[in-house]
Chains A and B, each alone.
Chain A
Amino acid sequence: MDKSGKKIRVLVAKPGLDGHDRGARVVARALRDAGFEVIYTGLHQTPEQVAETALQEDVDVVGLSILSGAHMTLVPRIKKLLQDNGMNEVMMIVGGIIPEDDAEKLVSEGYAEQIFTPGDPLDKITGYISNNFK
């Protein structure tokens, strides 16, 4: 919950052609246990579907799980669609197999706030979100 006692809503989305959602589900479960309301989209979402879902669900955070290697295309695209929808303030975090160079670029160019990669403990993710809404 944030400081006003409002529940934080997190969209966990799997954009693109990537059929593995074990990781996304583990993260979704951890977020649930940390007290967040998690909306999960399921597999194979287009960037448009992700952005529209974020809008209808009025989420505070969008978490993308991408294991396909298409992150440099998908993340900027979704960020742009969110902005087009007037959702500039939404926190964007990304998890997946993302090389360090790409991760730095996504953050420095403002497409994502934080990138999580294999080996990052779950409470690093939940803690990152909670700290940002304090």
Chain B
Amino acid sequence: MQQLVAELLKGNRRAAARMISHVENDDPLKRMLLTELYPHTGKAYVIGVTGAPGSGKSSLVDCLLQQMRRDGLKIGVIAVDPTSPFSGGAILGDRIRMQDHALDHDIFIRSMGTRGSLGGLSRSTREAIQVLDAFGKDIILIETVGVGQSEVDIVKAADTTVVVLTPAGGDSVQTIKAGIMEIADLFVVNKADLPGAERTTTEINIMLDMKKGDHWRPPVVQTVSVQNKGLDQLWELLQEHRNYMNESGKLETVRLERVKRELTDQVEYLLKNSVWEQVKEEVKLEKLVEEIANRKNDPYSAASELLEKISFFDQKTGKDD
């Protein structure tokens, strides 16, 4: 295990790939690996790209890779596609658009299935970001699944969030709805060679101008990724937003919040595991469930009674798993 971490820090691509598999599969080594990696993280800048299915996220990421490589940056890509709720299988097809970069050793692309997560990212995206961060990538690009209106987990993971829209996506009421329209630091109207691009752009701009008081007013960029149009501007604006995040001190605030969330998540995770382990030892759950189902007991008092029987944290659980 130590060796895997050492190899990863040396820049071994296979080690990075294995490590992501370990975190994704909830390997028993996972917590220890992430603990080892943590001191080496926090350097990469994370950019999220989100939008509806077929809006052109993968192609835009492909174009952005080209732009970023021109500046000599090392990039990690995490491309998320949906896992079937029925079979548990998935078709991970985002990298089809990025295969021109497959042989560039400074780009590392990993596809992930959502595996039950509903917020647009996969269950282990955040951990995979840490792996690629420790691996020495300057920028990590996250491509979410094709989202609808409310899958906004990306804001919790990304320093800059790009929302990709296409022309003719509904009337102007759509632009003032809550959810995805609120999370963008930057809007892209892709496929801008199609009719309606101007109107869509104007509607987003009107929506943005209705809101006052924010220091950063998200720009709206038109792109045509198949013709490589608008990509210079997009890359410039992404850098501008990054500068803004740095200079305004917002990056620090956002990252502190993220660390706080990681900490609470970990506490909840450990607590939950430790509690359930003990509960399973102490009581026959099935029997209790039956009692409740037969209305001889109720879930509210049963839960309180269960918790009275156990101690809340077992040191062992935290260290051994």
Contact = CB atoms under 8 A, between A and B. Distances in A.
B14 interface: yes
Interface string B100-114: 001100001111010
10 contacts: A32-B89, A39-B111, A41-B99, A42-B96, A53-B95, A55-B13, A56-B109, A57-B17, A57-B110, A58-B14
A37 B17 contact: no
A32 B87 contact: yes
Interface in A44-99: 45-46, 48-49, 52-53, 55-58, 85-87
Contact of A55 (B17, B89, B95): B17
B18 interface: yes
Nearest to B12: A86
Contacts of B93: 39-40, 42
Task: Kindly state the interface size class of chain A when it binds its partner.
Answer: 20 to 34
Contacts of B90: 32, 37-38
Interface of B: 13-14, 17-18, 20-21, 24-25, 83-84, 87-93, 95-97, 99, 102-103, 108-111, 113, 115
A107 B92 CA distance: 28
Interface of A: 1, 4-7, 9, 28-29, 31-42, 45-46, 48-49, 52-53, 55-58, 85-87
B21 A58 contact: yes
A50 B108 CA distance: 14
For chain A, what secondary structure do more than half of its interface residues adopt (helix, strand, loop), or is it mixed?
Answer: mixed
Nearest to B107: A56
Q: Top 4 closest A-B pairs, CB basis?
A: A42-B96, A32-B89, A58-B17, A49-B102
Nearest to A85: B14
Given A7-B25, A32-B84, A32-B91, 9 more contacts: A7-B24, A28-B91, A35-B84, A52-B102, A53-B99, A55-B13, A56-B108, A58-B18, A85-B14
A45 B25 CA distance: 28
Given A56-B17, A86-B14, A37 B99 contact: no
B91 A40 contact: yes
